[in-house]
Amino acid sequence: MPEPTRVVFDVNVLVNAMIGPDSSYPVVTELPPTTGNPAADCLSLIFDADEFALFTSPHILRNTLRVLVEKARVSQGAAAKYIDALTEIIEYSGGAIIDPPRTVHEVHDFEDNLILDLVVDVDALILVTDDTDLTELSPWRGRPLLRPRTFVERAVASRKRRAANIAKPRPVKQPSEPDATPGRD
């Protein structure tokens, strides 16, 4: 099996997975995701752990907790349990929590640079975000910066293509006739 694709989710994706419209949190939906919440569907894809490894940073987790508590009015306890669940999903996916060095300084929003630092440090192929300042940069250093719905649509389409390729019968090579050339054994 190929190595999982490394992905990073922005704070807004993690927040919306919990409290966005049609969120099923704490239940992780089955695949392919079919909810009206693309951020929650992103988390379902990661939880499946087949083709994606999710990486995050202490910065992303702290800000997810802060936004849930201060702006969304989620209780501290519920938000902390969500961060614990995210940590488990990240580890289960083969990803990790990494505190990257500061290397990116090209975006006007300091917070966006911190997200991109992680993308660079873990060599993530994809950043999933609902931040227009970031998605407008796509492709950034050769990496797609995708909105959650686009990420889910592409992942599901890729799975369907792979499943169709697996289901196609492969031509069976017939054994060749023995060499009947005189003088050959």
Count other C-beta atoms under 10 Å from residue 152's C-beta. Answer: 25
Q: What value does the mean pLDDT of the chain take?
A: 87
Provide the pLDDT for residue 2: 81
Edge-to-edge order in the sheet of strand 126-128: 96-97, 52-56, 5-9, 126-128, 145-146
**Is 181 part of a structural domain of the chain?**
no
- Domain ranges, residue 58: 5-157
pTM of the model: 0.85
**Is 95 part of a structural domain of the chain?**
yes
Over pLDDT 70: what percentage of the chain?
A: 82
Asked whether the CA dihedral 79, 80, 83, 88 is positive or negative, the reply is: negative
Of 30-39, 136-145, 164-173, which one has max mean pLDDT?
Answer: 136-145
Residue with tokens 């569907």: 41
Number of structural domains the chain divides into: 1
Over residues 118-135, the pLDDT tens digits come to: 999 999 999 999 999 999
Nearest 5°: CA angle at 76, between 19 and 98?
80
| Residue 97: closest CA among 151, 68, 59 | 59
Structure tokens belonging to residue 159? 């799975």
- d(C-alpha 124, C-alpha 132), whole Å: 19
**Is 75 part of a structural domain of the chain?**
yes
Over residues 70-82, the pLDDT tens digits come to: 999 999 999 999 9
**Is 182 part of a structural domain of the chain?**
no
**Is 165 part of a structural domain of the chain?**
no
Provide the pLDDT for residue 29: 61
**Is 171 part of a structural domain of the chain?**
no
Provide the pLDDT for residue 183: 57
Does residue 180 or residue 136 have the better pLDDT?
136
Over residues 5-51, the pLDDT tens digits come to: 999 999 999 999 999 877 666 666 666 666 788 999 899 889 876 89
- d(C-alpha 163, C-alpha 147), whole Å: 24
**Is 135 part of a structural domain of the chain?**
yes
Structure tokens belonging to residue 94? 């083969």
- d(C-alpha 168, C-alpha 29), whole Å: 28
- Identify whether the C-beta of residue 68 lies closer than 8 Å to the C-beta of residue 23: no
CATH of the domain at 125: 3.40.50.1010
**Please, what is the angle between helix 38-48 and helix 11-19, to 10°?**
100
**Is 47 part of a structural domain of the chain?**
yes
Is the pLDDT assigned to residue 165 strictly greater than 90?
Answer: no
| Residue 16: closest CA among 86, 76, 84 | 86
| Mean predicted confidence (pLDDT) in 100-105 | 97
Split at pLDDT 50, 70, 90, the class of 163 is: confident
